[in-house]
């Protein structure tokens, strides 16, 4: 990793800008930064990891500041009076410098080691977006309870029924783990609702091909899920808005 640190200090512009939105993820953040940094260093590209924290009361931002001391590629954006995953991602992309933009959850349910697989279709030029997918061949979830599987399946079916044609071809349109070329969203107006920013990118983005790369969605080891009735309602509103405006 030392070579990548030297390149970051030299002022080279990052090639990869990965955004991780956080809220109350202090218990996960050190492991996430360490694992993600190793993977991005192995990519051979200059990179930056941008943590966008919505003023977590557990001190997540303070932990990031501590970790920044030896990691010039680690950036922090703190938002006040806002708490929304999708708009946090947009806030990170606005300050990002890379040509390849990405997003990943802060709870380690998205294994950082999968990033190298996501980079493959981007580097080959075969796709302008690479989506970590639970629902293509060899993709899976780790140990979900039956109720959670039903909720995820129902949400995916609703997206398939309600959304326009090219989004329907994506088997996991609710994935929160993906990479894209900056050109996909450049000049586009994105107005996501709730947690599913990929839906908005798929609907409004400028791209020809979105590749789905299989991965296993891991279980959270620290903290709790942020999903609740309000997020479900926002998801439904978002689906309907995309359906009637795309």
| Dihedral (CA of 19, 108, 117, 202) sign | negative
CA distance 216 to 46: 27
Residues 6+ apart with CB under 8 A from 218: 108, 109, 110, 111, 142
CA distance 23 to 107: 10
Structural domains for the chain: 2-245 (3.90.550.10)
Helices (H) and strands (E) counted in the chain, each on its own, are: 10, 9
pLDDT per residue rounded down to tens, the chain (246 residues): 334 443 444 567 889 999 999 999 999 999 999 999 999 999 999 999 999 999 999 999 999 999 999 999 999 999 998 888 899 999 999 999 999 999 999 999 999 999 999 999 999 999 999 999 988 888 766 565 556 656 666 666 666 666 666 677 888 888 999 999 999 999 999 987 666 789 889 888 999 999 999 999 876 555 555 455 566 666 666 666 766 666
Question: Tokens 């329907």 belong to which residue?
Answer: 168
Going from the C-alpha of 126 to that of each of 119, 120, 148, 165, the distances in angstroms are 11, 9, 33, 20
| Dihedral (CA of 152, 155, 157, 163) sign | negative
Residue burial 23-35, b: 16+ Cβ < 10 Å; e: rest = bbbbebbeebbee
CB atoms within 10 A of CB 187: 6
In terms of DSSP bridges, do strands 210-214 and 216-217 run parallel, antiparallel, or are they unpaired? unpaired
């Amino acid at each position: 990793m030392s070579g990548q640190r030297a390149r970051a200090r030299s002022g080279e512009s990052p090639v990869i800008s990965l955004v991780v939105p956080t809220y109350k993820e202090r218990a996960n953040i050190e492991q996430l930064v360490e694992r993600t940094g190793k993977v991005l260093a192995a990519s051979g590209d200059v990179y930056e990891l941008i943590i966008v924290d919505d003023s977590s009361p557990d001190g997540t931002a303070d932990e990031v500041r501590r970790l920044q001391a030896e990691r010039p590629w680690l950036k922090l954006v703190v938002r006040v009076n806002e708490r929304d995953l999708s708009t946090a991602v947009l806030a990170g992309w606005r300050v990002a410098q890379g040509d390849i933009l990405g997003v990943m959850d802060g709870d380690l349910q998205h294994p950082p080691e999968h990033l190298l697989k996501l980079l493959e279709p981007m580097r080959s030029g075969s796709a302008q977006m690479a989506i970590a997918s639970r629902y293509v061949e060899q993709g899976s979830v780790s140990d979900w309870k039956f109720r959670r599987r039903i909720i995820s399946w129902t949400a995916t079916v609703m997206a398939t029924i309600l959304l326009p044609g090219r989004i329907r071809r994506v088997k996991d349109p609710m994935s929160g783990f993906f990479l894209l070329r900056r050109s996909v969203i450049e000049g586009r107006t994105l107005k996501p609702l709730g947690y599913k920013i990929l839906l908005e990118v798929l609907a409004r983005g400028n791209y020809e091909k979105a590749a789905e790369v299989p991965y296993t969605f891991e279980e959270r080891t620290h903290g709790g899920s942020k999903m609740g009735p309000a997020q479900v309602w926002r998801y439904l509103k978002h689906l309907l808005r995309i359906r009637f405006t795309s």
